[in-house]
Amino acid sequence: MPNLVPKALRKPGKPGEGNGALSPEKLKEAPVDLVGWVDERTGASPFLTGLLFRKVPKGTNWYYTLGSATLFAFLVQAITGVFLAMFYVPSPVEAYGSITHITNDVFLGEFVRGMHKWGATTMIILIFLHMARTFFFGAYKYPRELNWVIGVVLIILTLVMGLTGYLLPFDQRSYWATIVAMNITATGPILGPYLADFLRAGAEFEATTLSRFYALHMMLVPGLIIALIGAHLYLVVKLGTTAPPWVRAESKPKSLREEKV
């Protein structure tokens, strides 16, 4: 079976193999495939092969997929959210009607809305499982503290997504839940009342409260989340992952003693 991976993205040879120089045959090879053409102009293949073939510690197991699972849940939310936005109307008079229209009339509308609704819950569960894995495996320790901090900010932003998205169906439950949430915000001393006014765009539930939540839910917060996920992944690749706590380091003291003898 021919190797389907383009040449530029194949696993690089191990260090020490060959003399490091390009062979004349290799130099003669002009990139004929599309990936090679792009690679010759971007020089992206060292970065990509470094990303795809990076070393992982012994003992890496299924718990290490929780971060990717959270990322996948976020992508599901992003994609279904874009398509829901095609039918949703962020106006207090029309919002509920547009949601029932999506659910009852639009082809596969109930399915896409269901994915977005249940995907939100799934993402919250996965992000906390991912956090628990990091905590119990001690993967937050030096030099990965900054990545823990970024992850905590990402959890907060995900909860903000849950809060702002909850209002959008605009039924009784979401309306009153949001009223309560904004009033909880207002109970913070000194700044709380102004913060609640900012969220509501006024002293009561205003004409622009819903569109404000909509703008936060589909533009500002997702933008921040995407930027921070980028930083999070950069640090994961840069620093590497940790071995689980039950995998011991190669017995170094023993070999030291042997050397002494």
Partner 1 sequence: MADPANNKNGGAAGGNEAPERPKPAGYFEGETMTRRAAFAVAGQAFGGVAAAGVLLPVVGFAVAPIFDRPEERWEAVGPVDAFSDDTYRQAVITLRDGIGEAGKTTVYIRRGNPSRFEGESADEFIAISTRCAHLGCPVRFVEAAGSFICPCHGGVYDFEGKVLGGPPVRPLDRFQTRVRDGQVEVGPRYSVTNSLKPVRSRDPGEFTGGIWEYLYPPRPSTPPAP
Which parts of this chain interact with partner 1 (CB under 8 A)? Answer: 92-93, 170, 175-176, 179-180, 182-184, 186-187, 189-190, 192-194, 196-198, 200-208
Going from the C-alpha of 27 to that of each of 11, 23, 37, the distances in angstroms are 19, 6, 15
In the complex, least distance from residue 259 CB atom to partner 1, rounded to whole angstroms: 45
Nearer to partner 1 (CB atom), residue 68 or residue 183? 183
Rounded Cα–Cα distance for residues 24 and 14 (Å): 20
The stretches of the chain forming alpha helices (DSSP H) are: 24-28, 34-42, 45-52, 66-85, 95-104, 109-136, 145-167, 172-186, 192-200, 209-215, 221-239, 252-260
In the complex, least distance from residue 210 CB atom to partner 1, rounded to whole angstroms: 8
Q: Who contacts 144 (Cβ-Cβ below 8 Å, separation ≥6)?
A: 235, 239, 242
Q: Side-chain half-sphere of 24: how many Cα atoms within 13 Å?
A: 0
The answer to whether the bond into 6 is cis (omega within 30° of 0) is: no
Nearer to partner 1 (CB atom), residue 86 or residue 203? 203
In the complex, least distance from residue 176 CB atom to partner 1, rounded to whole angstroms: 6
In the complex, least distance from residue 205 CB atom to partner 1, rounded to whole angstroms: 6
SS3 letters across 156-176: HHHHHHHHHHHHCCCCHHHHH
Nearer to partner 1 (CB atom), residue 129 or residue 201? 201
Residue whose token pair is 């690089």: 12
Rounded Cα–Cα distance for residues 238 and 144 (Å): 10
In the complex, least distance from residue 170 CB atom to partner 1, rounded to whole angstroms: 8
Nearer to partner 1 (CB atom), residue 148 or residue 175? 175
Nearer to partner 1 (CB atom), residue 144 or residue 217? 217
In the complex, least distance from residue 34 CB atom to partner 1, rounded to whole angstroms: 38
Nearer to partner 1 (CB atom), residue 60 or residue 211? 211
